[in-house]
Amino acid sequence: MCSNVKTVFGDKNDYAAKGAMKRMSDALGRGVVLVMSLWDDHSANMLWLDSTYPVGSTATGAERGPCSTSSGNPWDVESQYPNAYVKYSNVRIGEIGSTYGANFTSEYLQ
């Protein structure tokens, strides 16, 4: 599926070039660290995530979300929200489906 998506969208298959599932499995076997962060993108303004990217493209897969291609400028974000921060909570680890308890309300499942 990953290779097919990259082919259809004309993207470089960096995942395959780096060893794909075999290398991912090897890394997980050695142990990994979960990293979460708040960040912006000085290279592509995050347009690859939720806008049309590359800007002006009409190719299959270019429209990745509803955001304007003029949005996401890191200079705007950083100047308008200089004190932005993120707070992570209720982070859990366990087998799929095993971390939902009575105190895990439906608001987290939406």
- Tens digits of per-residue pLDDT, 21-61? 999 999 999 988 888 888 889 999 999 999 999 999 998 88
Other CB atoms closer than 10 Å to residue 53's CB: what's the count? 19
Residue pointed to by tokens 């680890």: 93
Q: What is the CA radius of gyration of the chain?
A: 18
**Cβ count within 10 A of residue 15:** 16
Output the pTM of the full model: 0.60
The DSSP bridge partners found for residue 52 are 63
Compute the distance between CA of residue 69 and CA of residue 51 in angstroms, rounded to an integer. Answer: 6
